[in-house]
């Protein structure tokens, strides 16, 4: 969906250079001068390429900026006339991008600690899909490791039959896990028994019935949560896909090539940033690291990706440094495509200690509170509508609903073309200046993996559109005037709608 700025810049700069070298665009409306001002600044360019070719070639490097001046009527007509030019944002060279996000552990409820990875990963997937890249949404579920040994100990200690769990099985399993962790801190033999159980299931010497039942129960619970969030995945992978038996040859190859080695205790280790890191336990049981090394190599072979993004909290920075360090020595082309997208952790939560808030509980509470608010009368107040404090998704949803209601009830119809003569007001210039930035904002959000860039933009747009609601009427005015004003409101709604969808929020039509 193009809103004119791209076309305006294309008249000044070569298209490819425009995409690669423009770092930032500022658009402002100079009402007293009857014009729009565009200030364009450049990115760092390693080969000093220029923006433009031929006799009108214009250089734009990281230390310079250029100001363009566009007449008001030209700018309005360019931005607003293209409102229905819904393009697929085709790329000359679309990328295949695999995004690993959410990735909770089984036998534990989905809590708010998982939510940041899920929301950020979904946003990154949506915005890359918007730009026509081939996106693979991958959920890598933690269904392997010593945690299952602890869970098995707890189930035996409490005499719980997993197959007979009926009411709230995930909560029961979680309580058992917390109990077993507490016992392991008090009694070292509990931890030893847990490690022994995991070693046995990895070597295939004990029954996997409990593990299979727990995995199936958790997957059903997770699918319910994702459905409530409006999030889907293209692939579900499991840590157990890379168990000791499966990756035995890979680990042997790493050892033969000197990438990993034995330490004095018999563990297989590697050195990353002058720090020894364990890859396999002394009994050859796998770890998170060994499984992730195998998973990355498998994904590269399976998907032949151009990018592999891990959306995981910053507490895993050292872990991914180790993964990329090992894999780089096998396949540098693979790790050149990999990136760890970090975000801050929600402090004060631990599944081991039982100190978490579960997402389903939050969603249920939010639904109840929204229902209660809906039943109350509300007195509209412009000061509250235009205030800068308290910005939220609800504010954007309300704006979208109001814009939709206006289109349905105003009695005006959209014009075929924009006629700027009907749109002289300063507030319209401010709104259109914001609308023109939309595509650039999406590019910037995509490049920086930052949803807050898009959110901040939508809230600024909302402030200007709410002013326009306050200052201009569409009903009970001349038909041509109403039609042109409706065009501005309609274009704003399309931008808000698209922005919300990219953020992973379903735009509402009524609240």
Please say whether the beta carbons of 27 and 38 come within 8 A. yes
How far is C-alpha 87 from the geometric centre of its chain's CA atoms? 22
319 is catalytic: no
H or E stretch covering 52: none
> Which of these is catalytic: 53, 65, 96, 111?
111
Radius of gyration of the chain (CA): 28
Strand order of the β-sheet with 134-141 is 235-238, 134-141, 96-100, 307-311, 338-341
The strand pairing partners of 134, in sequence order, are: 96
The residue among 377, 415, 420, 374 whose CA lies nearest residue 397 is 374
- Measured distance CA(311)–CA(171) in Å, rounded: 26
Residue with tokens 């070292």: 188
Would you list the DSSP string of 414-471?
--SS--GGG---HHHHHHHHHHHTHHHHHHHHHHHT-HHHHHHHHHHHHHHHHHHHHH
DSSP class of 240:
G
21 is catalytic: no
> Which of these is catalytic: 2, 95, 114, 464?
114
Residue 270: count of CB within 10 angstroms of its CB = 20
Please say whether the beta carbons of 341 and 312 come within 8 A. yes
Q: Which residues contact 194 (CB under 8 A, 6 or more apart)?
A: 146, 149, 150, 152, 153, 180, 184
Q: Going by DSSP bridges, is the β-strand pair 261-262/235-238 parallel, antiparallel, or unpaired? A: unpaired
114 is catalytic: yes
> Which of these is catalytic: 21, 108, 437, 490?
108
Q: Going by DSSP bridges, is the β-strand pair 96-100/22-30 parallel, antiparallel, or unpaired? A: unpaired
Which residues belong to the active site? 108, 111, 114
């Amino acid at each position: 969906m193009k809103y004119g700025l791209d076309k305006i810049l294309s008249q000044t700069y070569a298209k490819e250079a425009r995409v690669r070298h423009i770092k930032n665009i500022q658009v402002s409306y100079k009402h007293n001068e009857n014009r729009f001002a565009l200030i364009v600044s450049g990115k760092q360019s390693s080969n000093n390429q220029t923006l433009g070719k031929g006799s009108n070639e214009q250089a734009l490097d990281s230390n310079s900026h250029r100001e363009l001046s566009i007449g008001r009527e030209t700018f309005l007509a360019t931005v607003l006339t293209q409102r229905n030019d819904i393009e697929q944002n085709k790329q000359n060279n679309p990328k295949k991008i695999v995004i690993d996000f959410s990735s909770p552990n089984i036998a534990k409820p989905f809590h708010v600690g998982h939510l940041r990875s899920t929301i950020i990963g979904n946003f990154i997937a949506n915005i890359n899909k918007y730009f026509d890249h081939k996106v693979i949404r991958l959920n890598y579920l933690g269904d392997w490791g010593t945690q299952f040994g602890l869970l098995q100990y707890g189930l035996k200690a409490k005499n719980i039959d997993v197959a007979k769990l009926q009411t709230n099985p995930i909560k029961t399993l979680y309580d058992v896990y917390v109990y077993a962790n507490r016992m392991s801190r008090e009694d070292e033999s509990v931890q030893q028994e847990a490690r022994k159980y995991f070693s046995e299931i990895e070597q295939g010497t004990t029954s996997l019935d409990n593990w299979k039942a727990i995995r199936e129960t958790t997957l059903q619970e997770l699918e319910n949560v994702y459905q409530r969030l409006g999030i889907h995945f293209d692939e579900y992978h499991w840590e157990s896909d890379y168990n000791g038996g499966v990756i035995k040859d890979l680990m042997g190859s790493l050892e033969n090539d000197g990438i990993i080695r034995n330490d004095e205790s018999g563990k297989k280790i590697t050195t990353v940033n002058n720090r020894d890191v364990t890859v396999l336990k002394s009994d050859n049981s796998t770890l998170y690291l060994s499984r992730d090394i195998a998973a990355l190599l498998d994904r590269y072979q399976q998907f032949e990706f151009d990018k592999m993004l891990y959306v995981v909290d910053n507490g895993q920075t050292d872990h991914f440094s180790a993964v990329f360090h090992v894999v780089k020595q096998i396949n540098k082309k693979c790790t050149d495509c990999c990136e760890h997208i970090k975000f801050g952790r929600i402090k004060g939560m631990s599944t081991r200690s039982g100190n978490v808030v579960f997402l389903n509980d939050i969603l249920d509470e939010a639904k109840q509170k929204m229902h209660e608010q809906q039943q109350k009368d509300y007195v509209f107040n412009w000061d509250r509508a235009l205030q800068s404090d308290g910005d939220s998704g609800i504010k954007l949803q309300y704006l979208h609903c109001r814009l939709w209601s206006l289109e349905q009830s105003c009695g005006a119809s959209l014009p075929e073309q924009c006629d700027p003569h009907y749109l002289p007001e300063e507030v319209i210039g401010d709104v259109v200046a914001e609308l023109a930035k939309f595509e650039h904002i999406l590019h910037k959000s995509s490049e920086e993996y930052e949803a807050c860039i898009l959110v901040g933009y939508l809230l600024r747009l909302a402030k200007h559109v709410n002013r326009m609601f306050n200052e201009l009427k569409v009903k009970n005015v001349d038909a041509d005037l109403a039609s042109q004003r409706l065009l501005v409101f309609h274009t704003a709604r399309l931008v808000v709608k698209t922005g919300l969808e990219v953020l992973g929020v379903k735009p509402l039509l009524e609240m």
